[in-house]
Structure 1
């Protein structure tokens, strides 16, 4: 256990974009207390592991990472385990890894400076409170951002899919206030953000009175200097007609929709407690494509869910073919302690799930490559976000969230440029600049 107040810190984020947002906010909290980000991460005084519980063996990977933090002289930095693994494992983390000083859940990290001070006084701290959105009242004003940035608008989940831990680690669905979000978005734009991605476990469940996500997007559209709006991750049950209409009516809303279906067979969807059917999902996609024909669709899939037969897996392949995804994430089912699916009969053999995953990923990769190749010959705008590996190269994102590599001498990160797409691979595009676009 550390007995000195740390002067430097580093934060390691795992998993989803929400964790990236949370990690940035924790960095702001620590910086406001006079700490600075460590130039040498290996020698940081405080290490925050901002964990994710979605992937297989997530907890064991955290314990392995804790072990790697031990230094050659036998010492360790002050260690805080934050995020969803912290919420799920609780005090067990401190019991199994005595070098951990702080265990803090995703709704209590606004107390991190107080926890650090307690550790410096010789105390261990565990805080797994789920106090709604109290943390947003305490967090400092956003003062640093990139050209593309995240804005959390909603947290938690009430859907209780049988395979998922999120309702237990993030709590119930709760939305931040409309005025608060507009103010934060304006502050981000004032600091240089050109693109804002709205985040939530079920982002399209956001509500403030009669206002829904479509209303919020239309309000953000009025902010001068904001050029692009995105949102993720959405649930099919919350895709309202007003939100779908925003894809046609709001020019700043990018033509990209991440809408997980998880499986293509109705019996499996019911066993997952997804509360939508194959047909209702596809009808949503039809509605979106009707108002925005160039939409890039993205999804999530789980293969090998308990009891899934070969024929039911074929239904998943067929819905992928019918939906025509530009991108998708796919995973083998893995049990999460405390979830209903973990105790279901007929757990699928690992080798069967492996084979199914390989077939699904091959189809998804084929579709992604085809979507990218269809972009060749188009002229489109690209927001430049980071340096590339080559001299003078910058990497940006197309409206369809594709990575675009450009030789861009004389241009800067944050610029929006018009490019001709001249080549495409499975993972990225190559563009040639035609002119700088108006931001």
Structure 2
């Protein structure tokens, strides 16, 4: 019989201990890590920010892009050294990569003790006990119901000002390049009441900004309550509470949602609207379910109702079959919209997606890199031009913390989600201050309190 380490035996029998968690990927993963910490806390575990103090190390993973997965494989290689140094410590992989790779994670580096998918976090305490005695600890079952609605997340933010609130899980859109429906399952929404209670509790605890999260927030539906009604109800909790949301799918961004944003000053003037490509040919093969013309009409509707609204996006360079004209269409879309910010990536094939099954990844890495570089360079120009237009203007800024550059300066964000660094003048984290912008870079505004 295999000898069980005393520390492992304690986890298997008494439970409890210290847990360390690393989070990779999107904001949804940050929210999931906070749910995991809550579940483990209710089972006697205490969070530690120091890996060498942990009995259980959890790595919350992303599978959306290949480079995200490669980072995790590299981190697992480093975990071998942690295990040698510590003598014994449990290492678990949770999240989207766990769902996608399952047994391979436990076999390849020989350091992973448990593997848990995004819908199986309630089973973590039992799986820790199983793994502690040398058992096979895997649960990657997807659910049609799980939303963790009643769980109160353990907040991991540093400032106590901004918090993420997941309103739904999964995705039904089935974009041909995307692995999310396979790793997070179908869409399901949290109950309206639990979301409002969570946000109200955050505000009462001193938080002054919430970001409502979902793979496609526009699809939120609890009974007869859609996203526009939810957004209105959250905004009405207090005019001192800023409300953001991510991510919107262009095909579902309704006039009703735009009008609700326009009607409430505390709903931030910032919409993330992923385009992915400016080419109708690419949008069709990506299965995005809208055209360039539809997308631009939605942009026009935003700017007509909320002229001060910033728009950010996601863009993919080098998708299957992309021609030079398709790429030029993306550049022209960027110029036409004038994005304030963009997440920009080279296409990387994800196993089991429609693109991987039915399309050739036929754009060379050199061409992908060259096209991505053009997109990045253009976006830097657009971001700088947008920021220059803000010079001389006064913005209400929510103070989030101390600037990394100087202890004499603070930083926060405008309603348009732009970072501002400014002289503090006695302001505190969580305060709203009016800041006049004096200068800028492509990424940051600089100013002083009015």
* Bucket of the pairwise TM-score, normalised by the shorter protein: over 0.9
State which of 381, 384, 395 in structure 1 corresponds to 2:399: 384
Question: After superposition, what is the alpha-carbon deviation per residue over 1:287-312, rounded to whole angstroms, capped at 9, x for unaligned?
Answer: 01100001100011111011111111
State which of 45, 53, 57 in structure 2 corresponds to 1:35: 45
Q: How does 1:69-218 map to 2 (within 5 A)?
A: 69-70=79-80, 71=82, 72-73=84-85, 75-137=87-149, 139-140=151-152, 146-218=160-232
Counterpart of 1:437?
none
Cα deviation, residue 401, structure 1: 0.8
1:293 aligns with 2:307: yes
**1: distance between equivalents of 2:387 and 2:237?**
31
Taking structure 1 as reference, are residues 392 and 417 closer, same or farther at Cα in structure 2, changes over 3 Å only?
Answer: same
Question: After superposition, what is the alpha-carbon deviation per residue over 1:72-103, rounded to whole angstroms, capped at 9, x for unaligned?
Answer: 54735211101100011112211223321111
**1: distance between equivalents of 2:419 and 2:384?**
13
State which of 376, 379, 386 in structure 2 corresponds to 1:364: 379
**2: distance between equivalents of 1:74 and 1:383?**
42
**1: distance between equivalents of 2:339 and 2:152?**
39
**2: distance between equivalents of 1:234 and 1:301?**
14
TM-score (norm 2): 0.92
Counterpart of 2:237?
223
Counterpart of 2:413?
397
Structure 1 residue ranges (4+ consecutive) displaced by more than 4 angstroms after TM superposition? 141-145
1:47 aligns with 2:57: yes
Q: SS of the residue aligned with 1:80?
A: strand
**2: distance between equivalents of 1:209 and 1:35?**
36
Taking structure 1 as reference, are residues 397 and 129 closer, same or farther at Cα in structure 2, changes over 3 Å only?
Answer: same
**2: distance between equivalents of 1:27 and 1:423?**
41
Q: SS of the residue aligned with 1:411?
A: coil
Counterpart of 1:19?
29
Structure 2 stretches lacking a partner, 5+ long: none
Q: Is the 8 A contact 1:107 1:133 kept in 2?
A: no
**1: distance between equivalents of 2:72 and 2:361?**
29
Higher mean displacement: 403-412 or 252-261: 403-412
Q: How many residues align?
A: 434
**2: distance between equivalents of 1:19 and 1:371?**
30
State which of 423, 426, 429 in structure 1 corresponds to 2:445: 429
Q: Is the 8 A contact 1:301 1:331 kept in 2?
A: yes
Question: After superposition, what is the alpha-carbon deviation per residue over 1:119-165, rounded to whole angstroms, capped at 9, x for unaligned?
Answer: 23432311112223435156246677621111000111111111000
Q: SS of the residue aligned with 2:345?
A: strand
Question: After superposition, what is the alpha-carbon deviation per residue over 1:248-275, rounded to whole angstroms, capped at 9, x for unaligned?
Answer: 1121111100000110111111000011
Q: How does 1:262-273 map to 2 (within 5 A)?
A: 262-273=276-287
Counterpart of 2:364?
349
Higher mean displacement: 48-57 or 387-396: 387-396
**1: distance between equivalents of 2:448 and 2:35?**
36
Higher mean displacement: 118-127 or 250-259: 118-127
1:261 aligns with 2:275: yes
